């Protein structure tokens, strides 16, 4: 059984989209997404520097667009069904929703535009941040975070938790970490997936009437509890609430394993989720699509891990919308 994984914020690197522009249709696709996102995704994916693409308002639309571009190229000849799992980490859930048909490409990019700007504004209101906590006893880590008033904003599995809160709280964590842990400050603008992001929830609720959600055609996983979402409205509810509640990628991986996933393919900008899967989904084959050179191997990987009902060459060359 195949899983398609869509990475989240922090996976982008300067120039990562440059090789993709050599492929037919990619520049035009990115320009269309740029119009909807209200930012030049071609420039940001090719020549913008690290500080520019680290900005939340730029990073989130860029990551979603990269995944949609990769998916169109990779899945152009196939129609996904419920026999394929699609999942995304944090903002990657929007990419996954677009691929699975729960949102149109236009709606996914309109959503991420509001999401990114609203989260950036919320982050600017109070000095907050996030730190990865690696290793240690899970109960000890949870107790220390609770003691400091920090939120376990991302539970990524494999002994990795991302703590989020004020800079003072994070400094206290770094100064006195739980036993046998390593604390690494992350280069993000704020405490994402916590109550600090509640203004972004309000902004996304205001966007809701302009969106047209649909029931997903693939099995679309939720970061909330790691379970599939059955309806388009339910997925939209989850996407809106997600910005201020923890991401449970660990539960998504557990569910994928229990469902019988044998192979996970990660869309560009790839590498983070396949790395987590090597620790959290032992025995599951993985493939990271980092450049166009990976496309042939990725197509073979899809054929190897898909059930025959997954692959129905009925789509147009424009691929999934």
CB 237 within 8 A of CB 35: no
Residue with the two structure tokens 């990524």? 156
The full 3-state SS of 134-191, as one line of letters, equals EECCHHHHHHHHHHHCCEEEEEEECCEEEEEEEHHHHHHHHHCCCCCEEEEECCCCCC
Q: In what order do the strands lie in the sheet with 219-220?
A: 219-220, 85-88, 2-6, 263-266, 285-288
Q: How far is CA 113 from CA 28, 58, 66, 119, 262, in A?
A: 19, 9, 14, 10, 34
Rounded CA gap, 160 and 140, in Å? 13
CB atoms within 10 A of CB 46: 18
Question: Any idea which residues carry the catalytic annotation?
Answer: 90, 193
Rounded CA gap, 282 and 265, in Å? 15
């Amino acid at each position: 059984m195949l899983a398609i994984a869509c990475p989240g914020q922090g996976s982008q690197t300067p120039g990562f989209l440059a090789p993709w522009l050599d492929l037919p249709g990619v520049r035009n696709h990115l320009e269309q997404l740029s119009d909807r996102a209200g930012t030049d995704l071609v420039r940001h994916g090719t020549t913008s520097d690290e500080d520019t693409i680290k900005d939340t308002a730029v990073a989130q639309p860029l990551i979603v667009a990269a995944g949609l571009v990769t998916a169109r190229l990779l899945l152009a000849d196939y129609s996904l069904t419920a026999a394929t799992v699609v999942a995304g980490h944090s903002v990657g859930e929007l990419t996954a929703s677009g691929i699975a048909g729960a949102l149109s490409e236009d709606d996914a990019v309109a959503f991420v535009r509001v999401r990114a700007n609203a989260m950036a504004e919320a982050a600017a209101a109070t000095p907050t941040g996030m730190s990865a906590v690696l290793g240690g006893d899970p109960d000890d880590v949870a107790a220390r975070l609770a003691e400091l008033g920090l939120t376990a904003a991302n539970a990524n599995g494999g002994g990795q938790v991302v703590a989020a809160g004020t800079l003072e709280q994070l400094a206290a964590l770094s100064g006195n970490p739980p036993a046998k842990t390593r604390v690494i400050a992350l280069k993000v603008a704020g405490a994402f997936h916590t109550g600090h992001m509640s203004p972004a929830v309000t902004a996304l609720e205001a966007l809701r009437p302009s969106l047209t959600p649909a029931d997903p055609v693939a099995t679309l996983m939720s970061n909330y509890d790691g379970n599939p979402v059955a309806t388009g409205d339910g997925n939209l509810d989850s996407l809106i609430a997600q910005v201020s509640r923890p991401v449970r990628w660990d539960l998504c991986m557990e569910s994928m394993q229990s469902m019988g996933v044998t192979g996970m393919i990660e869309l560009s900008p790839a590498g983070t989720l396949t790395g987590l899967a090597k620790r959290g989904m032992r025995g599951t084959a993985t493939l990271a699509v980092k450049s166009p050179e990976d496309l042939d191997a990725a197509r073979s990987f899809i054929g190897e891990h898909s059930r025959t009902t997954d692959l129905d060459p009925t789509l147009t060359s424009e691929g999934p919308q």
